[in-house]
Amino acid sequence: MPLAQCPLPNAHCPIFKSGYFSLSRIIFMNVSVAGHIIPTFGLMAELIKRGEEVIYYEVDRFQKEIETFGASFRCYPSLNLQTAPSGENEMSLVPSLTWCAREMLPALLESVREEKPDYIIHDSLCLWGRLVAQLLNIPAVNSIATAAFTPESFYECPRLRKKLPRLLKQAAGSMKHYRQHQREISQKTL
């Protein structure tokens, strides 16, 4: 059957079955937290079912689950946690993520460049995924894993309301670390 006559390639398409035709090579990048990784499994499985090649970058504790779906696994570069920013408060997430991006970016740029993906799917907190896509001029899709809140459940939560002034103060301090890491990332990539 000529390619022009074949409907969208799938497992039943003779050209696809022959190995002659594949769709896209996709890289997934995520933050190493089950609550962000597990929500991507449905999309990953569907893409693989449709014939896409999926390469998932993550820490090794998620390797078996990722490979169960048929994706190729790539382990993130090792990090020296002794140089990481302290996690002394709830607002340490921003400096931690920018530190991770700064530390992993050189190795990830080299690895992803070799993979030659058609596009990257990265979590909204995965700064290194966004930067890799941007620096290598690869189209990117941002995925978001979030809990559902209503104004009542969020703003009227006594626990959050009580912590809000302290959280805002900590957030201001964390932004200082974020800006420093951001400058360092910019200097490394110029």
Averaged pLDDT for residues 20-35: 85
Least confident of 35-39, 128-132, 147-151: 147-151
3-class DSSP string for the chain: CCHHHCCCCCCCCHHHHCCCCCCCEEEEECCCCHHHHHHHHHHHHHHHHCCCEEEEEECHHHHHHHHHCCCEEEECCCCCHHHCCCCCCHHHHHHHHHHHHHHHHHHHHHHHHHHCCCEEEEECCCHHHHHHHHHCCCCEEEECCCCCCCHHHHHCCHHHHHHHHHHHHHHHHHHHHHHHHHHHHHHHHC
Whole-number average pLDDT of the chain: 80
Query: Which of the four pLDDT bands, split at 50, 70 and 90, describes residue 41?
Result: very high
Query: Which of the four pLDDT bands, split at 50, 70 and 90, describes residue 56?
Result: very high
| Residue bearing tokens 């809990």 | 147
- The length of the chain is 190
The order of strands in the sheet holding 53-58 is: 72-75, 53-58, 25-29, 119-123, 140-143
Residues 154-178: pLDDT tens digits?
A: 566 666 667 667 766 766 666 776 6
More confident residue, 180 or 21: 180
Residues 63-119: pLDDT tens digits?
A: 999 999 999 999 999 988 877 777 665 556 788 888 899 999 999 999 999 999 999
Q: How far apart are CA 108 and CA 112, in angstroms?
A: 6
For residue 47, what are its two tokens? 């893409």
Do residues 125 and 97 touch, judged by C-beta distance below 8 A?
yes
pLDDT at 5: 43
pLDDT at 6: 46
Q: How far apart are CA 54 and CA 26, in angstroms?
A: 5
Rounded percentage of the chain residues whose pLDDT exceeds 70: 68
Examine the pLDDT at 139 and tell me if it is beyond 60. Answer: yes
Q: How far apart are CA 65 and CA 33, in angstroms?
A: 13
pLDDT at 2: 38
Averaged pLDDT for residues 6-28: 62
The CA-based angle 176-178-183, given to 5 degrees, is 100
Examine the pLDDT at 120 and tell me if it is beyond 60. Answer: yes
Reported pTM: 0.69
